[in-house]
Structure 1
Amino acid sequence: MTETVTVRRVEIFTGAGQRPSWSEEAKRQIVAESYSGLETACAVARRYGLSPTQLFTWRRTFRTPAAQSAEPMFAPVVVEPVKPEPSPPRRKTRRPRRGGIELEIDGVVVRVGSDASAKTVVAVIGALKAQR
Structure 2
Amino acid sequence: MERVEVITGRRRRRRWSWADKQRIVAEASMPGVCASAVARRYDMQPQQLFQWRREVRESQGVHGTDRFAAVRLIAGHDAGRAHEPEHAAPDERQSAGTVEIRLDNGRVLRVLETIAPAALMRLVAAVEQA
- TM-score, normalised to structure 1, is 0.40
Structure of higher CA gyration radius = 1
- TM-score, normalised to structure 2, is 0.40
